[in-house]
Amino acid sequence: MRAGAFLDRDGTINVDTHHVSRVEDVHLIAGAAAAIAALNAAGVPVVIVTNQGGIARGYFTEDDYARVRDRVLQLLAAEGARVDAVYHCPHYPSVTGPCDCRKPGLRNYERGAAALGLDLAQSLFVGDRITDVLPAAAVGGTGVLVPSAHTAAEDVARAGREHLVAPTLGDAVRGFLSGRRDPGGIHPMAPTRRHP
Ligand SMILES: [Mg+2]
Ligand SMILES: [Zn+2]
């Protein structure tokens, strides 16, 4: 059982233009591909876990979702970054009722862990919403909030108290990888900062 990196998509890898549903709206966040490539180089499998409630709400279709997913992967690949698996939740509670795959639900993380032989407790969880890092706490993993324009201030404050906050995905990855290389280090997450 090995560590993996579970990454949010919109607002973490690509710019969150609010329900990204068209390929022309897919723009990678600067440094995201390099961060994923660093995980690739370290042998840490990369899994995207994304809530796509816009499907349940009728804003876009599963086919639209699949095209955007493929575009994200294509743009990452063009920069030398490989994603090992992608899982999405197409549900929305007020439309489709509760499900166990919508973050912070663990189902999609468990699917990725089972498919790739990953230990969630050793793994990294990164995203721009508190729902992206709460799963880390649930399984004993490392959760890092990387705030975007869409991150609520209260969530940044909460993550700063209960999890970790990093300025960029690259910082979160560097902190995680350096902590793994030096597990006895006093500050294994030194490159990431707790938010003041
Ligand atoms: Mg997000
Ligand atoms: Zn779901």
Angle (CA) 130-113-17 rounded to 5° is 40
Tell how far the Cα of 86 is from the centroid of ligand 2, in angstroms: 14
pLDDT at 188 over 80: no
Helices (H) and strands (E) in the chain, counts: 7, 6
- The residues annotated with a catalytic role in the active site are 8, 10
Amino acid, res. 194:
R
Q: Is 56 helix (H, G, I), strand (E, B) or coil?
A: coil
pLDDT in tens, 87-145: 999 999 999 999 999 999 999 999 999 999 999 999 999 999 999 999 999 999 999 99
C-alpha distances in Å from residue 132, one per residue of 59, 74, 118, 126, 183? 22, 23, 18, 6, 24
pLDDT of residue 191: 41
Classify residue 106 as exposed, middle or buried by CB count within 10 Å of its CB (0-12, 13-18, 19+): middle
In sequence order, which ranges of the chain are alpha helices (DSSP H)? 32-41, 62-78, 93-96, 107-116, 130-139, 153-162, 169-181
Tell how far the Cα of 16 is from the centroid of ligand 1, in angstroms: 7
Tell how far the Cα of 128 is from the centroid of ligand 1, in angstroms: 5
Minimum-distance ligand to the CA of 55? 2
pLDDT in tens, 130-170: 999 999 999 999 999 999 999 999 999 999 998 999 999 99
- Which domains does the chain carry? 6-181 (3.40.50.1000)
Written as six digits, the tokens of 166 are 């990093």
- The pTM assigned to this predicted structure is 0.92
Q: Which residues make Cβ contacts (< 8 Å) with residue 146, sequence separation at least 6?
A: 12, 126, 127, 128, 165, 166, 167, 168, 169, 171, 172
Minimum-distance ligand to the CA of 89? 2
